[in-house]
Every structure is written in structure tokens, then in C-alpha cells.
Structure 1
Amino acid sequence: MADSLRDQLLKSGIVKQLKDDKRQQQPAPKPQNSFAKGKPPHKPRPPRSDEIDLGKAYAMRAQTEAQERKRAEQEAAEQARIKRERKAKVQKLLEGQALNKNDVDQVRHFEYGGKIRRVHVDAGQLADLNAGKLGIVQNAGRYLLVTQAVAEQVRDVDPHLVALLVDPAAAGVDEDGIPDDLMW
């Protein structure tokens, strides 16, 4: 009795005969070969109306990115052109207008671009600079001493190039011509 009923039936061959009988009674399935119907084997399904082809999506994305790059390059070129025009205009305004002297003994310190800068001046220029009659303009890495009118013209073209232009009405000036805000 060690053999189960199933094992006994398999040994006797009855189960095998039953399986063979079931196979003969069932009709054979028809092949799913699409060639039998005259159609290609793997016809891609048409995309739904809300789907787009992956290739088209990549092409659209590439085209959009190219347009964005082109627009960014055009904007950069326009900004560079404007900057060149401003620089040329400032250069023309400053041509021959610098009042800097080589043989001066005083230094005027001022804050520009987050750092303390300096320009060499004589006593008269220092008094006029502190009174607002002169200004300092940064051009090509140098600080040029110019009249108030020239400094204001430069401010109209490019305001960040004016390094120092004291407004005498806004800041008090002591008897030495030094603004009160510069007293250490």
C-alpha cells in the first residue's frame, strides 16, 4: 500500500488512456498565423489620437531645444552689441576729459564694487571731489577724475561706471571739504 491510487493508475495505464481519449475528442486549435489570412505577421497598431510616435516626439523636442539655443544666442549677441555701444559711447565721452595728474601727493579713498579703491589727487581736486564738483568714473580698469557734467553724462549711458559722485545736498561737508560720512 505504499503506492498511492494515482501511482497505481499510472502504472496500469488507465490514466494515460484517459488523457489520450480527451485529446482525440477535442478539436485541434486553428493556427494563429496571420499569413494564413494574407496579412503581415506583426502589423503595428495605429496610434490613438492622443498618442504621438516616439520618433516624432524626439524630433519635436530636438527642434524646440534648437530654437531655444538659437534664441539664447541671439539674446546674448544683442546684449553684447548693446554693451559694445555703451562702452564706445563712454569712451568717446571720456576722451580728453580725464583730470588725473601724475605728480600728486594726496589719495582719495572710495568704495566701489564692494572694495576700497583709491585715486591720486591734489588738494584742489580733493576739495572739488568732496564738494561734488568732480567725479570718478571707472573705465578700462582705471579710475578717471572728471567733471561733474561728464560724470553725469556717463551715468546716463551706464550708471554702474560712475565710481564716485558726491551729492553735496545729501551729505554734509566739513570745513576741510571732507564729507561727514568719511570721518573714521
Structure 2
Amino acid sequence: MVDSLRDQLLKSGIVKQLKEEKRQLPPSKPIARSFKGKPPHKPKPAPSDAEMDLAKAYAIRAQIEAVERKRAEQEAAEQARLKRERKEKVQKLLEGQVLNKADAEQIRHFEYGGKIRRVYVDALQLADLNIGKLGVVQTGGRYLLVNQAVAHQVRDIDPHSVALLVDPANAGVDEDGIPNDLMW
């Protein structure tokens, strides 16, 4: 006698018979509906291999884009972390090194970030700034006057923070050939 595959699997113990299988549901009866002139919905045909390949291609592309977005976000977070660390180092370096005076009356103009900026100095500071003994560092939206050594240390940490540092070799002449003592 030939047993069905199901019976053979049950006897071997690989498949256990479930109580739900024992219960047999009565066969469902088709429900008669009126479509009012519309034909009944026909099931979609199974997708072809070309459509499956297209779906796989879209899925792969979506995964690649997700990985690229995640990598870009991680890179942006790393850049922000490095910038924050540089800013903290500059802040610590500038503590007690700022030479700005509240009563300074002279203005020294300079170009920084594509715009003309200014810092208030006294006469001695203006002379030292023009010959390169002093420099200007931008931090927190302010322009701070510091000595040359501190300006070089800031430049080593974050070159974009140094707003003005005159090269002593070219201290007498501006980059346009105009003497610095004729500055505004």
C-alpha cells in the first residue's frame, strides 16, 4: 500500500499534525454580487522575469542610496565634531591672551571673508599690527587682537580663524603695493 507523502512525514515524526488541520472548515460559497455594468476585477497576471529584474534593480538602488546617505551623515557629523574640537582648542589658547582695549579709538580695517572688517586699536597696537607683531583672530563673531606667537598657534589649529596677520617681510607694503601706513 502506498502512503501519501503527508502520511509518510507524519509517521517519521518530521511533521506534527496540528489540531487546526483536523478541523475542516465548510467550503465557502461564492457570494453573488451585482456589478452594475462593471466587469468583475480580474487578478493581475504574475510578473514576468523582466519586471522582477526591474524591481530588484530598484531595490538595490534604494539600498545603495540609503548607504550613501548614511555615510554622508556620518561624515558630516565627523566634520562637525572636528570643527567643535578646533574651536574649543582656540578658545583655550586665547584665554588671557587677548589684547583688545575697551578705550581704543583708532580703527584698523582689513579684509576677511570677502568683506571689510574692523578692529579698534590704540596707536601703539596699530603700529605693531601693521608690522606683524600683532594679529587678529576671529572667534565667536568677534575680532580679537593677539600677539604674533598666539596668532601662529591659532593658525596651526584652525587657519580660517586668523583674520589678519601681516608678514613681517612685507610689513611696509600692502599686497597691492600701497604702504601700510596709508591704510584707512
TM-score, length basis structure 2: 0.67
**Structure 1: gaps spanning 5 or more residues:** 1-41, 174-178
Q: Does 1:111 align with 2:96?
A: no
**Structure ID, larger Rg:** 1
Q: Does 1:143 align with 2:120?
A: no
Secondary structure of the corresponding residue to residue 169 of structure 1? helix
| Aligned residue-pair number | 135
Q: Does 1:152 align with 2:148?
A: no
Correspondence for 1:79: 79
CA distance in 1, matches of 2:87, 2:155: 12
Secondary structure of the corresponding residue to residue 91 of structure 1? helix
Identity of aligned residues (%): 75
Equivalent AA in structure 1 for residue 57 of structure 2: A
Correspondence for 1:183: 182
**What do the CA deviations read for 1:114-159 (whole angstroms, capped 9, x no partner)?**
1111111111111111111100000000000001000000101111
CA distance in 1, matches of 2:104, 2:57: 70
Give me the CA root mean square deviation: 2.1
**Structure 2: gaps spanning 5 or more residues:** 1-44
Correspondence for 2:170: 170
1:44 to partner: Cα distance: 6.5
CA distance in 1, matches of 2:147, 2:69: 44
The answer to whether the 8 Å contact 2:154/2:162 transfers is: yes
Correspondence for 1:120: 120
CA distance in 2, matches of 1:43, 1:119: 75
Correspondence for 1:64: 64
